[in-house]
Amino acid sequence: MSKLVPPAPLRRAKPALPWVLLALGIAAPFYLGAYDLNLLARFMAMAILAMGLVLIWGHGGILSLGQGVFFGLGGYAIAMHMKLADLPAGEMPDFMVWSGREALPVWWEPFASPAFALAAILIVPTLLGALFAWAVFHRRVGGTYFALITQALALAFATLIISRQDVTGGFNGLTDFYSVFGFGLASPGTGTGLYWLTLAVLCLAYLGLRWLLASRFGMLLRATRDGENRVRFLGYATTPFKTVAFAIAALLAGIAGALFTLHAGVVSPALIGVVPSIEMVVWVAIGGRYSLAGAIVGALLVNLARDAVSSAFPELWLYLMGALFIVVVTLFPNGLAGLLKGNRA
């Protein structure tokens, strides 16, 4: 399969792909209705997370089955802010009342400030991601072990959120938001505005990652993936590289979670556990783990297909997803992007 070379027209299409995507992204608000635009915006938020996986999995060889955790941290941070922002003075969010809490927890209070909430979206996932990655990598535990530990992390995080209902909203998650930073969520203008914001963040993340992957950092990351000990023998400490890469992916997941929560109007443990986390890897596997544009296409396509297939043929969806996963991973490890580019694994 590694001899497979795509036909010339497809190869020539490769550099154009990001531009085509951008043009479509800009055209979408003029072409789609409010519902479809909202759907597209959600998927674009997920695409931001997917690009983070390209960084760590494709280029770093670090498979994370727990990206949902960081997605959730970002989502919950913005949700906590919106919960407090809509609240009359002196009251508690409704779920705290019915969970029997007497007062707002101290660590909730600063989230009333928009600046704090924004900072939390950026800092908390990054910091937690860095800490977690460092704790595992500095003892030279990696590869399969790391993947298994991240999966356990996803399980533990989702379970913890569910069990601390009085401060997290539990299984229900957080929902019923009316405004964000002063803009009413019900007004169509806000929806379009959020779409542009998501598109802008997506472009920024894309450009940032492109630069990063082309830099010395990217080169060393790939070198670490292909032969960690050799890089060590050359005198580089590899743990900081891997930790930084993982933290960046966590940051992107956090931003994606916050944007997704704004579009979906809800964040809940159902979005962050074991299965959603592994599905995030599916997007990237299908789109192409080495390609940023591929990851975007993968995230959009898989979610679009799920939306269409799971309603019409609910039973079929799981078979399709399972089969797609097996086929793509075994036969087309470079995903859709590989079909355009030719093989480079």
Cα dihedral angle (279, 284, 289, 294), rounded to 10 degrees?
170
Contact pattern for another protein over residues 304 through 343, marking x by CB under 8 A? xx-xxxxxx-xx-xxx-xxxxxx--xx--x--x-------
Specify the residue, 110 or 170, whose C-beta has the smaller distance to another protein: 170
217-276: which residues touch another protein (CB under 8 A)? 228-229, 264-268, 270-271, 274
**Which of 123, 127, 155, 212 is in the footprint of another protein by CB under 8 A?**
155
Q: With binding defined as CB under 8 A, does residue 38 bind another protein?
A: yes
SS3 165: helix
Strand 174-175 relative to strand 179-180, pairing: unpaired
Q: How far is the CB of 56 from another protein (least distance, A)?
A: 11
Q: With binding defined as CB under 8 A, does residue 10 bind another protein?
A: no
Q: How far is the CB of 154 from another protein (least distance, A)?
A: 9
158-177: which residues touch another protein (CB under 8 A)? 159-160, 162-163, 165, 170-173, 175-177
**Which of 19, 145, 196, 211 is in the footprint of another protein by CB under 8 A?**
145
Token pair 């930790």 in the structure block, residue: 243
Going by C-alpha positions, the residue among 125, 341, 136, 147 that lies closest to residue 251 is 125
83-112: which residues touch another protein (CB under 8 A)? 94-95, 97-100
Cα dihedral angle (153, 238, 291, 63), rounded to 10 degrees?
-20
Cβ(278)–Cβ(65) under 8 Å? yes
Q: How far is the CB of 321 from another protein (least distance, A)?
A: 6
Which two three-digit tokens encode residue 287? 């789109």
How many CB atoms within 10 Å of residue 19?
10
Q: How far is the CB of 110 from another protein (least distance, A)?
A: 24
Q: How far is the CB of 237 from another protein (least distance, A)?
A: 16
Going by C-alpha positions, the residue among 60, 42, 71 that lies closest to residue 264 is 42
SS3 183: strand
Q: With binding defined as CB under 8 A, does residue 30 bind another protein?
A: no
196-215: which residues touch another protein (CB under 8 A)? none
